[in-house]
């Protein structure tokens, strides 16, 4: 993990970012990291959390609902917000 830059996070998949965030949380909860490292990994954790939130919001925006005819036959899709 880079202590000075979190630029790699922007290219991570949701699953990878979440996995790294879980590792950070476990390390912080254990209390075994020195103070400076705790601060650094906490900041990385914040960046990972924000990235996951952006990816989730993007996925939610893409979700579509299936539209059905009166007899229950799928006729297409519409945005979830419609």
Residue 36 lies inside a defined structural domain of this protein: yes
Establish if 1 belongs to a structural domain. Answer: no
Measure the CA–CA gap between 35 and 51, rounded to whole angstroms: 24
> Does the residue 57 lie in any domain?
yes
Q: How many domains, in total, are found in the chain?
A: 1
Domain membership flag for residue 48: yes
Domain assignment present for 50:
yes
Taking only the tens place, the pLDDT of each residue in 20-78 is 999 999 999 999 899 999 999 999 999 999 999 999 988 877 776 767 777 877 777 77
Q: Is residue 2 part of a domain?
A: no
Any domain includes 71: yes
d(CA 78, CA 64): 6
- Is residue 39 included in any domain, yes or no? yes
**Residue 49 to residue 79: CA distance in whole angstroms:** 26
3-state secondary structure of 72: coil
Question: Range of 64's domain?
Answer: 7-79
d(CA 37, CA 43): 10
Task: For residue 5, give the 3-state DSSP assignment.
Answer: coil
Would the pTM of this model clear 0.85, i.e. be above it?
Answer: no
Cβ contact 21:48 at 8 Å: yes
- Please tell me the least confidently modeled range out of 11-15, 17-21, 63-67: 63-67
């Amino acid at each position: 993990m880079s202590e000075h830059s979190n630029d790699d996070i922007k290219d991570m998949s949701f699953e990878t970012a979440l996995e790294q965030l879980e590792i950070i949380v476990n390390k912080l909860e254990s209390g075994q990291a020195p103070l400076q490292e705790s601060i650094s990994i906490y900041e990385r954790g914040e960046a990972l959390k924000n990235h996951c939130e952006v990816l989730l919001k993007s996925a939610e925006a893409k979700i579509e609902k299936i539209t059905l005819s009166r007899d229950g036959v799928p006729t297409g899709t519409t945005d979830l917000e419609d």
